[in-house]
């Protein structure tokens, strides 16, 4: 029997995140899923995915392009570099080796849903 999170395309909550953070990662996951329609899209995204090294959790994973996405509040250059070093090349709980990580500064993301969608779409491949 498959664990629900292995199926992908579902949103998982994290106890310490804000409602806005949850909405941002949901919109991002939806954009990634839509980018893969017509391709090998089944299970294209996963949310709150554990990385096997260092007990890290990635906000959103593009399982097709093997990209991790982190939405960070109070983002600094140091924090961005640390995220890249600890996650890039690591395996997720579903066995996907992350090719790279994209760290997005939450303070730059508009709260209006249409503007948020447009802003986040520049990070989706």
pLDDT > 70? residue 6: no
Q: What is the average pLDDT across 4-33?
A: 78
Reference 80, options 109, 55, 50, 100; nearest CA is: 100
CB 61 within 8 A of CB 87: no
How many residues appear in the chain? 125
Asked if 110 and 119 touch (Cβ cutoff 8 Å), the reply is yes
- Give the three-state DSSP class for 90: coil
What does the domain layout of the chain look like in residue ranges? 4-121
Confidence label for 53 from pLDDT (cuts 50, 70 and 90): low
Q: What pLDDT is attached to residue 5?
A: 45
3-state secondary structure of 89: coil
- Run of H or E including 54: none
> Could you tell me if 67 and 101 are in contact, meaning their C-beta atoms sit under 8 angstroms apart?
yes
Residue with tokens 């804000």: 18
Name, in order, each residue with C-beta under 8 angstroms of 35's C-beta and a sequence gap of 6 or more. Answer: 44, 124, 125
Q: Over the stretch 65-123, which tens digit does the pLDDT of each residue have?
A: 889 899 988 888 888 888 877 787 888 877 888 888 899 999 999 999 999 999 999 99
- Rounded to an integer, the average pLDDT of 24-46 is 79
> At residue 7, does pLDDT exceed 80?
no
Q: Which of 25-34, 58-67, 80-89 has the lowest mean pLDDT?
A: 80-89
């Amino acid at each position: 029997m498959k664990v629900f999170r292995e199926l992908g395309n579902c949103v998982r909550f994290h106890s310490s995140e804000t409602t806005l953070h949850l909405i941002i990662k949901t919109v991002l996951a939806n954009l990634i899923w839509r980018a893969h329609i017509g391709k090998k899209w089944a299970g294209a995204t996963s949310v709150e995915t554990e990385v096997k090294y260092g007990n890290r959790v990635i906000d959103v994973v593009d399982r097709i392009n093997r990209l991790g996405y982190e939405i960070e509040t109070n983002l600094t250059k140091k924090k961005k570099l640390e995220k890249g070093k600890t996650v890039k090349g690591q395996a997720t709980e579903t066995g996907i080796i992350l090719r790279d990580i994209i760290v997005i500064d939450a303070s730059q993301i508009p709260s209006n849903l249409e503007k948020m969608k447009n802003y986040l779409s520049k990070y989706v491949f």
